[in-house]
Amino acid sequence: MAAALAPAFIRIGGTEADRVLYALESQSPTKPPPPFTSVLSSRHIDSLGDFALAAGLHVSFTVNAGWGARTGSGVWQSSQTRALMRYVSARGYPFTVWELGNEPNAWPLFQQNLIIEPEAYARDLGELAAARDAECPTARIAGPATAYWPTIGEVPAFATHFPPRLVCNFLPRMLRAAPLHAVPEIVSWHYYPGLSTRSALAKYRPEATALATYIVAALAALYASRSLLPRRAIVFLLTMLFAVLALVLAVRAVVRPVHAVGPLSLRDPAVLDTVAHWGAGVRDAIDSLPKQPKLPELWLGETGSAQVGGEPGISGCWATSLWWLDQLGLLATQGHAVQCRQTLAGADYGLIDDATLEPTPDYWASVLWRRLMGTAVFRAHADGAPPTLRVYAHRSPRGRSAAPPFPDTASDATTFLVINLGSDPVELDLFAATSRSEREAEVWLLEGAFPNSTSCTINGVQAVTAADGAVPDFLPRREARPRVPAGSAAFVRI
């Protein structure tokens, strides 16, 4: 099933990437020494390399940039990464992208209060580039893979040790410093449209609302009894209560859980458009680099329907498929070359259910995107259409190279992706402004019965794999005026 998505990248990364020990000897330790928390053995690397080769995938690997790969003063050391590069190069494994660390703006929270200035990260990126040049010169370097939230954009890094430190604007500052060391071939960032309710912050959001009510009541009571307490005590208590209230309200404002329906659902155009707002900022940061022979590629290096494993009952269901297709189309118009989807298999947001090995609706959406939407992107719009009708257009691929960046072979056909988020069906007239003699389009209509459906249909037929996992061809139907029902998506090729 993974081969049906190829050529593509499989990303190995995440929070644990900055805690793992590379044990490439024949005898690997079962328990890693501190500060490592896990072991990546030669057996793991061999399994990954063999899988990538068999499926026609390229590996994007996030190297450990946490405490275990740093000196006491915080300088990143490349010795472990160089050994891993030599290992995969000697065996011909397709590790073609090396990324320095995972979400450095979240390191204070997840990596034992580690905090690195963006300028120091740029220096470390130069060391990674030197290792690449020596060990696998055809590979590309990526970073900084910083985390963005829909409500605030790039999350500031805050270390609580004394004295406290706050680092903001990590990605733009890193890019400004990069020309002194090495400009990455790929600039990556991470984004989810919301949090899973399993996350601690989302769990505390209702309590934050209740606490805010109590604090307001306490402020009113304190003000009413101000004549009974010394003035300095009143000022102190008021200051503390206002500070706590501000923190509580900030948590409520910043944390956005994912909803199946309603004004903050994954089918709300305003929610869908948020990623483009932050993506445009990353694009501007790249464009502001001093003159380069070639600007870095822009990647959304990690994304999924809900942060922290996906949302049970929503992720892995039809409820997220229109969001996924829309984000693929929307960011392509901004020049994003790659989007790395959490996950191929695993957690609630996997493309493949890791318990049953059954594809989810997002998998089938990805297969149709891969087969029908090429790498040449056009601007498209529908005159007079509401914001709930989303239209994207790409040159149709006739074939795709197996080598990054996977350019398409020539094709004179265009595929439109039409997503109907509204409550009424839409009929398309694609030939009114063309001189084509052909007046019928090829249509692949993707539908789900209910938001929580774990299956979908393509042209009315349930999408399933063969017994051996093979993916069907999905022949199109021909229509002069394709009809897109409410809550569905259509790929239309002319």
Q: Residues 189, 41: one domain?
A: yes
Place of tokens 């993974």: 2
Q: Residues 245, 124: one domain?
A: no
Burial degree of 228 (CB within 10 A; 0-12, 13-18, 19+): exposed
* Torsion sign over Cα 169, 175, 176, 181: positive
Q: Which of 210, 237, 254 is the last residue of a domain?
A: 254
In the Cβ-directed half-sphere of 435, how many Cα atoms lie within 13 Å? Answer: 0
Q: Which of 254, 279, 296 is the last residue of a domain?
A: 254
Q: Residues 127, 267: one domain?
A: yes
Q: Residues 95, 224: one domain?
A: no
Q: What is the C-alpha to C-alpha distance for residues 152 and 158, in angstroms, rounded to an integer?
A: 15
Q: Residues 53, 120: one domain?
A: yes
pLDDT per residue as tens, the chain (494 positions): 999 999 999 999 999 999 999 999 877 787 899 999 999 999 999 999 999 999 999 999 999 999 999 999 999 999 999 999 999 999 999 999 999 999 999 999 999 999 999 999 999 999 999 999 999 999 999 999 999 999 999 999 988 877 888 999 999 999 999 999 999 999 999 999 988 888 877 666 666 666 667 666 766 776 677 667 787 777 777 777 776 666 666 666 676 776 654 555 899 999 999 999 999 999 999 999 988 899 999 999 999 999 999 999 999 999 999 999 999 999 999 999 999 999 999 999 999 999 999 999 999 999 999 999 999 999 998 888 999 999 999 999 988 877 888 888 768 899 999 999 999 999 999 887 666 667 899 999 999 999 999 999 999 999 999 999 999 999 999 999 999 999 999 999 99
Domain contains 447:
no
What is the domain extent for residue 206?
A: 200-254
77: its two tokens: 């050391």
Q: Which of 481, 366, 484, 479 is nearest to 421 (CA)?
A: 484
In the Cβ-directed half-sphere of 390, how many Cα atoms lie within 13 Å? Answer: 26
**Domains identified in the chain, total number:** 2
Burial degree of 114 (CB within 10 A; 0-12, 13-18, 19+): buried
Q: What is the C-alpha to C-alpha distance for residues 299 and 171, in angstroms, rounded to an integer?
A: 13
Domain contains 58:
yes
Are 23 and 41 spatial neighbours (Cβ–Cβ below 8 Å)?
A: yes
Q: Residues 194, 204: one domain?
A: no
Q: Residues 208, 337: one domain?
A: no
The CATH number covering residue 351 comes to 3.20.20.80
Q: Residues 285, 345: one domain?
A: yes
Q: Is the entire prediction scored with pTM above 0.85?
A: yes
Q: Residues 145, 227: one domain?
A: no
